Amino acid sequence: MITPNEKTSVDRCQELGLYTEHMLGKFPDNPRLAALVARMRAGNGAFEAAERAYRSELRTLMRLRIDVDFENYLSDRRVRRTRKAVEMHDGRRGGRIAAEIMPAGSLDFSRIRGAKQIDEMRSLEARLAAAQDIWPEAGNELGDIAQHRIRYATAIAARDEGLRRAKDLRLARDAAKERFLQLYAEIVSLVEAEFPRDRVTLELFFLDAYEKSGRSSEDGESDEPGEDLPGEPGDELSDEPAAAR
């Protein structure tokens, strides 16, 4: 019998816990086993709740990242509109107003994002404010750019807060998994003491950590679907800085 450890996937740990809880419940006339049912159920419930909270936050985080991508897209388009308006006023590219408002190297917003783009938008706003006496439309452009910058910054802040929440919930889930593993090992020991030298009965209560789900039926077929999952799911949280996606 192979018991779960820190490398056993969350899904497999939960499957093992539910199996053992249900099998222990098949022996209501044994008071020691009946007492273990409640402990296993409580441990399973706490573990599952922590995992659900983490997975829910990951879905929220995905939406928050989409919000950042969308605001980045809108901001890029709005800056390009300002560039076109400047060129129309100058009557050509690289004119006098463009040289003041959008100096060389400041137009390629498509190559930057996050905190760096927010800083560049602030600089653009400052140049627009300074150019209002030579370009009447600068004030309107300034207002629109500022609104997009605020929405973009708000989306980034919400995304970063969601990332922090998800990391905290992952830590909580990992702690719940560790408590589950400790409880599972303890229940294994208690059941072993209840059935000394009775390997057949002992193995009835526990699935091997890395075997497929279910017990074999009489014709040799597994009566439940399942697969060997020796590692964590491939959805690790990114450790990217706040300025990134």
- The alpha carbon torsion through 205, 208, 211, 217 (nearest 10 deg) reads -30
| Distance, CA of 231 to CA of 242 (rounded, Å) | 28
Query: DSSP string of 124-154?
Result: HHHHHHHTTTT-TTHHHHHHHHHHHHHHHHH
CA separation (Å) from 27 to 18, 23, 34, 77, 195? 15, 8, 7, 68, 13
Token digits of residue 81: 């509109």
What string of pLDDT tens digits covers the 245 residues of the chain?
Answer: 789 999 999 999 999 999 999 999 999 999 999 999 999 999 999 999 999 999 999 999 999 999 999 999 999 999 989 988 988 888 787 788 888 888 865 567 778 899 999 999 999 999 999 999 999 899 999 999 999 999 999 999 999 999 999 999 999 999 999 999 999 999 999 999 999 989 999 999 999 877 654 444 333 333 333 333 233 333 334 434 343 44
* pLDDT attached to residue 33: 95
Instruction: Give 110's DSSP letter.
Output: G
Amino acid, single-letter form, for residue 161:
E
* pLDDT attached to residue 107: 62
CA atoms within 13 A on the CB side of 211: 15
* Contact residues for 194 (Cβ-Cβ < 8 A; gap 6+): 30, 32, 33
Residue pair 40/13 in contact by the 8 Å Cβ criterion: no
Q: Note the pTM of the prediction, 2 decimals.
A: 0.76
* pLDDT attached to residue 221: 37
- What angle (nearest 5°) sits at the alpha carbon of residue 242, between those of residues 61 and 58? 15
Residue pair 212/223 in contact by the 8 Å Cβ criterion: no
* pLDDT attached to residue 5: 94
| Distance, CA of 83 to CA of 93 (rounded, Å) | 9
